[in-house]
Chain A
Amino acid sequence: AQKVTQAQTEISVVEKEDVTLDCVYETRDTTYYLFWYKQPPSGELVFLIRRNSFDEQNEISGRYSWNFQKSTSSFNFTITASQVVDSAVYFCALSAIDSGGGADGLTFGKGTHLIIQP
């Protein structure tokens, strides 16, 4: 069975601070995908990043960066110089890889509610 743990239920920081959202996962699969989604107050789910288990390179996209460490089963997400617009619930998710190379149904963590105070 797969499991994703986001131990931080809620984080509150002041604007311009850096913040890291933790994600730890469990799976018996040797190959898998990891994802981060953002859910702003409007409620939609916005895809942020997908990483496959073959690729442990960290990724940076503007103020966002992701640190994937297979040895500790972690896929952490850092926002640098946070802004009020970053306030949202962030979900980490995991999926097996099917025979066609596609992502199976997602197993989500319970989410981290990030509050950026002005």
Chain B
Amino acid sequence: DAGITQSPRYKITETGRQVTLMCHQTWSHSYMFWYRQDLGHGLRLIYYSAAADITDKGEVPDGYVVSRSKTENFPLTLESATRSQTSVYFCASRGTSGPETQYFGPGTRLLVL
């Protein structure tokens, strides 16, 4: 029972580079979410997706791009990484049957130099 996985778990990159963070879930959940966690801010929603090919912005979407070609995958791309995007990124998913809870992946720790 793999659940929800994220890769890589740790990433160091340089300013201006493109970085893609992967999220994969085995529950066939329709909804998937990306959050970032920063000291003093808690977790903030970046993007979410209600189904394949349906995505929408959250609270802090600037500088990020998402896609959802398959239900099980929800990659997050930083097109040109900036130091302010140094953070811990969490992916989450939930089903569509009533009051489903969001379950989180283990997180990706990203450092932008």
Contacts and interface: CB of A to CB of B under 8 A. Distances in A.
A97 to B, nearest CB: 8
Interface of A is mostly: strand
Nearest to B38: A110
Contacts of B74: none
A37 B100 CA distance: 15
Nearest to A91: B42
Contacts of B40: 110
Interface residues of A, number: 24
B88 interface: yes
Contacts of B100: 102-103
Given A43-B88, A44-B106, A50 B99 contact: yes
A102 B98 contact: yes
A28 B100 CA distance: 21
A110 B42 contact: yes
B96 A102 contact: yes
B65 to A, nearest CB: 17
21 contacts: A4-B42, A37-B104, A43-B88, A43-B106, A43-B107, A44-B106, A44-B107, A91-B43, A97-B99, A101-B99, A102-B94, A102-B95, A102-B98, A102-B100, A103-B94, A105-B58, A106-B33, A106-B102, A107-B59, A110-B42, A111-B42
